[in-house]
Structure 1
Amino acid sequence: MITTVIDQCLILLIFLIIGFLCSRKNWIHKKHLSSLSNLLTNIVLPAAILTSFNVNIAAYNLNFFVTIICISLFLVAFPFLLSKLLVSFTHMELALKKVWIGCCTYSNILFIGIPIIGTLYDEKGLFILVIYNTISNLFLFTLGIKLYKNDINFKSIGLSLLSPALLASFLGILLLILNVSLPKTLTTALNELGSMTAPLSMIITGALFGLINIKKFMVSKNIYIFCFVRLIVIPGLVFVILNTFITDKVILGVMILSAGMPAGATNTSLATIYSDKGPETSQYVVMSSILCIITLPILMYVLSL
């Protein structure tokens, strides 16, 4: 099981290195990154989201759904409020505070989570993850976009509900409820397209990382503090809180592992599209993706006790 975690993390790091080298060799230019980010968020990611709903809901009752939705809302709100509190004590510029909050709140659920959760907890675990991912995406593509855009107009949140990622989520929920399957050819095409999500997102992140000063990155205390909060503090506190009233080991395991995932690469795409902090955002994604090779196996060991 721990081998699965390490393998998935190393695969993502390979994609990061490819993106980094492409940037340093000028095979991917800075001007291309916004277009690639749009391709990811508007085409590739929606395909991955839609295909993630290919699960059977017949075995689960209403109480199960309500429990997962409530915990999912907590897992989005808790890191958001905690990170907002923490950055209020720092002297970072406002734009970087928002990057900190975004990367703490929205983790790499889909890319690392699905292979790991699928191996550990089978179909039930994947279904829990799909619900959590849907709730997380609802906030990421509404309040998350608002966060990166620095937009105080709440009308923009309504427009964000029409984003391809959320439309894919709504369609997936509808197909799930109606127990309707898409045609095999279309499903295959969407699976192939969705499989590009992890490589493309991490290549974009690696390319953005290639634009920064590596020496400054390596000695940045802020990056290491972020990783400590994202990878240790958040899952640790979530474990303490949920362990007091959640008796279902699968629900507990899925939610705590999800809380311990590194910063989501989609943050870099949104920061690239809606602000000028793409390279800075990539630093949080890169370092947390590297360090989670150590922290995720430890988290799995704690859950097995």
Structure 2
Amino acid sequence: MDFIPVVTSIFTLFILIGVGFVAFRMGYITRSGASGLSSLLVNVAIPCLILESMQVPLSEGLIYSMEMIVFIEIVVYVVSFIFAGIVPLLLHGSRFETGVLRFMLIFSNLGFMGYPVAYAMFGEASVFYVTLVNLPFGFLVFTVGVFLLRPDLARQPDIKRIVTPGLIASILGLVLLGTGLTIPSPINESISLLGSITTPLAMIVIGTFLAPLPFFEMLSDTRIWIISSIRLLAIPAVVFLLISPFVHDPLLLGIPVLLAAMPVAANTVLLSEEYGVNAELASKGVFISTLLSLVTIPLISIFLLP
């Protein structure tokens, strides 16, 4: 296998993060400007990306694959939730820091890194399966994910904070998937364009959150290294051991395990900022886990490819 496309995809992330880092240090983007961009991503770009990804025509093959993906993803999320329920409690932090660490363990960077890395490893057929795995992601991020970051919202529900554009887009996306309907042009083209800005803008925003932090502070937080190791190695290893006896299709086995091995989701930073929790901690998690994935993803692929 040629690992160059995989490594190229990961380095592309670092270049975009570097753009945000330099732009902040040069004064082109202020702290309030970064917060505004983050809000734009959470409330406009990501919902559009969700709507775009869930307009998939139903077929018998799709229904069977969806059934298998549902089974596999239940395993993935159960394993992730078990780790997320135990490990952050051992790392000692505030309530909101614990929520951020839990979010990191549960949600990986399926969007930007998932597609190109899976394509490099499994070819064009992987795009269909990556899309299936991505279907529940947006819904869970804007429901379970929000409550992880802000557990107080579960006890004192604020409808305006819970019924977000991301949640609305996820529900509409499920309706589109179930009915086979598509959004007409030119609205759909506009949605597609808005969704396409998610990856570059998200990485730039992460760079702006990293810019004020001392370099060694980014590397010295042992909690991030522990969380990253579990996110990148332990979770995919456990998932592989659990599902490999039952799933023999190389794509249905390999792609969910590979996506479970992706680094921390960029949404961790965006939602941490949106809901007023520790965006700096989230930024360190994205940075360190993405850096480590240069080594861990090729390592995981050894077990997934014949």
- Alpha carbons of structure 1 residues 162 and 90: separation in structure 2 relative to 1, 3 Å: closer
Stretch deviating more after TM superposition (261-270 or 272-281): 272-281
Match of 2:222 in 1: 221
Match of 1:301 in 2: 302
**Does residue 98 of structure 2 align to residue 92 of structure 1?**
no
SS for the counterpart of 2:36 is helix
Task: Verify the 8 A CA contact 2:68 2:252 in the aligned structure 1.
Answer: no
Task: Verify the 8 A CA contact 1:141 1:166 in the aligned structure 2.
Answer: yes
% of aligned pairs identical? Answer: 26
Match of 1:130 in 2: 131
- Alpha carbons of structure 1 residues 138 and 157: separation in structure 2 relative to 1, 3 Å: farther
**Does residue 105 of structure 2 align to residue 104 of structure 1?**
yes
Amino acid at match of 1:278: A
Match of 1:19 in 2: 20
Superposed counterparts of 1:139-158, under 5 Å: 139-153=140-154, 156=157
SS for the counterpart of 1:156 is coil
| Aligned counterparts of 2:151 and 2:291: Cα–Cα separation in 1 | 29
Stretch deviating more after TM superposition (156-165 or 60-69): 156-165
| Aligned counterparts of 2:208 and 2:166: Cα–Cα separation in 1 | 23
Q: How many residues align?
A: 305
Task: Verify the 8 A CA contact 1:143 1:157 in the aligned structure 2.
Answer: no
How far has the Cα of 1:279 moved from its partner? Answer: 1.1
Match of 2:184 in 1: 183
| Aligned counterparts of 1:223 and 1:23: Cα–Cα separation in 2 | 23
SS for the counterpart of 2:194 is helix
Mark the runs of 5 or more structure 1 residues left unpaired by the alignment.
none
How far has the Cα of 1:97 moved from its partner? Answer: 1.9
- Alpha carbons of structure 1 residues 126 and 289: separation in structure 2 relative to 1, 3 Å: same
Query: So what's the TM-score if we normalise by structure 1?
Result: 0.91
How far has the Cα of 1:163 moved from its partner? Answer: 2.2
Amino acid at match of 2:96: A
- Deviation by residue 1:22-68 (Cα, 9 ceiling, x = unmatched): 22222222222322111001111111112213434314264432321
Match of 1:41 in 2: 42
Amino acid at match of 1:26: G
Amino acid at match of 2:85: K
Stretch deviating more after TM superposition (217-226 or 56-65): 56-65
Match of 1:53 in 2: 54
SS for the counterpart of 1:15 is helix
How far has the Cα of 1:197 moved from its partner? Answer: 0.6
How far has the Cα of 1:19 moved from its partner? Answer: 0.9
How far has the Cα of 1:6 moved from its partner? Answer: 1.3
SS for the counterpart of 2:186 is helix
- Alpha carbons of structure 1 residues 110 and 169: separation in structure 2 relative to 1, 3 Å: same
- Alpha carbons of structure 1 residues 275 and 5: separation in structure 2 relative to 1, 3 Å: same
Query: So what's the TM-score if we normalise by structure 2?
Result: 0.90
RMSD: 2.3
| Aligned counterparts of 2:167 and 2:273: Cα–Cα separation in 1 | 19
Amino acid at match of 2:303: V
Task: Verify the 8 A CA contact 1:246 1:252 in the aligned structure 2.
Answer: yes
SS for the counterpart of 2:91 is coil
- Alpha carbons of structure 1 residues 25 and 166: separation in structure 2 relative to 1, 3 Å: same
How far has the Cα of 1:236 moved from its partner? Answer: 1.3
Match of 2:71 in 1: 70
Task: Verify the 8 A CA contact 1:20 1:203 in the aligned structure 2.
Answer: yes
- Alpha carbons of structure 1 residues 163 and 276: separation in structure 2 relative to 1, 3 Å: closer
| Aligned counterparts of 2:4 and 2:158: Cα–Cα separation in 1 | 41
How far has the Cα of 1:173 moved from its partner? Answer: 2.9
| Aligned counterparts of 1:77 and 1:158: Cα–Cα separation in 2 | 27
How far has the Cα of 1:176 moved from its partner? Answer: 3.0
Task: Verify the 8 A CA contact 2:49 2:191 in the aligned structure 1.
Answer: yes
- Alpha carbons of structure 1 residues 136 and 181: separation in structure 2 relative to 1, 3 Å: closer
Match of 1:167 in 2: 168
- Alpha carbons of structure 1 residues 83 and 178: separation in structure 2 relative to 1, 3 Å: closer
